Structure 1
Amino acid sequence: MRLILMTALTMLAFAANSLLTRAAIDAGGITPQAFALIRVLAGAATLAGLVALRGGALPLMRRARLPGAISLTVYMIGFSLAYLTLDAGLGALILFGVTQITMFGYGAVTGAAPTVRQLTGAAVAFAGLVLVLWPGAQATTDPLGAALMVLAGVGWGAYSLVGRGAAEPLAATAANFILCFPMLLLLFVAFDLRADAAGTLLAVVCGAVTSGLGYALWYSVLPRMQGATAAVVQLSVPVLAILAGALLLGEAITPVIALSAALVVGGIGWAVTARR
């Protein structure tokens, strides 16, 4: 029961990242660049504090740090800028779908040949993304926002692949967040970094709670799950974001979004539960 509760809280935290980012940026009191910087700084402080409480060290100079920090930076840029125009639920759906397809594609190229079931599931999920991204399919879908979220999905997929074999994933994530901040600062220093009190608060919550504590909680439950189970429970994230976006932010759940979500979630679920 405790494992189920902790897993549910983790999925809610992951879905909340999209809701908090969209709510803060859509309100206009904080720019996407400022939101990303504050989120990363708050996340770095929280994660580093958790590592210190556990008596661990931050592996800042390890070989995998640069690829991890760069891919995390790509994710943060695409994720924050995309929510200038995308709804929270739609953004989460694109992010999740692209992330899983990126990881599946990498595994298919570098690992064992995928099974027919895996290929079928990936094709169905890809069809769901094509449906929601097809010009004219969604009247409110901004092409640039969708492209930025696709970039974020590729970045998060690469980040997940880089950190997959980390011996201390919490410490590795803390180190990546710390190194990500100066990269973002260098890229965003010439942009408008305006932030009001409400936007700053949402960015801190997104970084410290739903990102920092959310990742810490995830790493505590992950060792007790099988790989397929861990992949399947994450299917709930875009669904939660779509439902919460409708309830809390007044976002519309159109037939296209509903069908696309069913294809993406169903296709990935079918693929990840296949025997290798």
Structure 2
Amino acid sequence: MPELPEVETTCRGIAPHIQGRTITAVQVRDGRLRWPVPTNLAELLIGVAVQSVSRRGKYLLLHTAAGTLLVHLGMSGSLRIVSSEVEPAKHDHIDLVFGEDTVLRFNDPRRFGAMLWTDQPAEAHSLLKDLGPEPLLADFNGMLLYQVSRQRKVPVKTFIMDSHVVVGVGNIYANEALFMAGLLPARHAGTIALADYETLADCIREVLQQAITQGGTTLRNFVNETGKPGYFKQQLKVYGRGGSPCLRCGQDLLEIRLANRTTVFCQACQR
């Protein structure tokens, strides 16, 4: 599943191609996504200019004077900038056309993604209004994690993956941040001290920023806006390395299922 760095990479990649440009055509080949694509999407968007592109959690937001298009990549989705001459592939469900030379193409083999419209403030949308803070912004810090975690008995890995606590910390980056912070993923969130949460908040920010800088994690179903894979997977310290030697101490990394998610950690380096 594309995680925050992949979505941020896509946001930064598509923005220069479509900001300030007017949508001249919309083609919906298959609107059966996680939620049905609005049947009047073309009517809503044709003739409208994209003023800006931003990200909230794992949602991409295309802002216009008339409203906001919310895009979620789901489990396997991607957005690519292609020429209008490029023929659509099997799972290329939606095209937003910008003149004769630029198409924003939405591909989603599993159709778990979404493309929705709101003419209200985007932050008030039901999918966005209850989201936690952005991990790369100043209002996310260790004190916030510490305060929200009191009396919580869930594993700290599950806690930081809760989008109501902080957005965008998916499974891969939760594994990596906890390793960097030296915290066992199964520890109860409410037992962790403020100083450790301050370290963890810094590690979450660092891991995500590194991934964004390097273009997102290379997953089987993820490509960036030009069709090229991200490169951060080469830098992963624990995720996908269960049974391999820890890069710090050499002890074999353990792999377990925690809250039904693959969880990899070092029993010696994490406490």
Query: TM-score scaled to structure 1, two decimals?
Result: 0.25
Structure 1 or 2, whichever has the larger Rg, is: 2
Structure with higher strand content:
2
Which fold has the larger relative contact order, with Cα–Cα distance below 8 Å and residues 6 or more apart in sequence? Answer: 1
